[in-house]
Amino acid sequence: MQKGTKISTYSLEDLLGPLNEIEEKYAPKKLFVSGKLPIPLPSPRTAIIGSRKASPEGLEAASYIAKTLVKRGVIIVSGLAEGIDTSAHETAIEEGGLTIAVLGTPLDRDYPQKNSLLQEIIMSHHLAISQFPTGYPIQRKNFVIRNRLMALISDASIIVEAGDASGSLHQGWEALRLGRPLFIWKSIIENSSVFWPKKMLQYGAMILTDPEEVLNVLPSHGRILKVAP
C-alpha cells in the first residue's frame, strides 16, 4: 500500500444506498475503503471473475468483455487476484474506465505481491474495498467471504473461466442467492470437462455470447466519473 493512503470506513448501505432484507442479512458490519470514486457508488457495476490460472483464451475473453463494457460506461469490479481478475482490472484502466477491487485481505496488504503496483493504482485513482481491518491475518476462508461482498457490490457478475473447484463459483452462487444476474461466458458452456455451469443454469444463470447482453439487465447509468490523471 502506498504510504499515506487514506482508508475510510463505511457501511454497505453507505456504498449502495438502502438495502433490501437479503442484502441486510449478508452485509458486513464495516467496510474499509480507499480511492477516488464517490460514495454512494456510481453505477452500473459488473464483476468479471474467473480462474487465477487462466488460459490465454480466458485472459483474452476477460479483456474483451471488460473493454466492451467500459466503452458503455460500466464500472468493472473484480477481486485483484491473478489471472482473470488482473486482466479485467488492467483492461478497465487501460481503456480509461473505472474499476473497483474487492480484496480478501486488509487494504494495507499486497496480495498477490505481483499485483502491488496495480493495487496502488486502484487505491489512488479508482477504489479498493475490504471488510478486513488493518492487521487482520490472511486466511484462505477470507477470499470466500470476499466473494460474497463482491456479489453484493456488483449489479451483475460474469464468470469467464473456472474449473469445478474454482473460488469464483462461490461468487456465482452468492449472486444467484441475492437475486443478482449471473452470466457464464460461452466458452465454459462448450467445455465438457466442467460440470458446474449446468447446475447454475438450472438456478437462473445465463449464457453470455456477447458482452453487450449484460447491458440489458444493468440499472441505468448513475454518476460516472473520469479517472483523475
pLDDT tens figures, 90-137:
999 999 999 999 999 999 998 899 999 999 999 999 999 999 999 999
pLDDT for position 111: 86
Given this model, what pLDDT does residue 1 score?
A: 53
Blockwise average pLDDT, block size 10, the chain, 229 residues: 76 96 94 97 97 96 98 97 98 98 95 94 97 92 94 98 92 95 95 93 97 93 45
Please give the pLDDT value at position 4: 54
Tell me what pLDDT residue 225 has: 44
Residue partners of 108: CB distance under 8 A and separation at least 6: 1, 7, 134, 135
Measured in whole angstroms, the distance separating CA 136 from the mean position of its chain's CA atoms is 21
How high is the pLDDT of residue 140? 87
Helix (H, G, I), strand (E, B) or coil at 191: coil
**Beta bridge partners of residue 78, listed in sequence order:** 101
Which one, of 91, 108, 111, lies nearest residue 48 by Cα?
91
| pTM more than 0.85 | yes
Cell numbers placing 130:
475490504
Identify residue 152 by its one-letter amino acid code: L
Which domains, ranges and CATH numbers included, belong to the chain? 8-217 (3.40.50.450)
pLDDT value for 227: 44
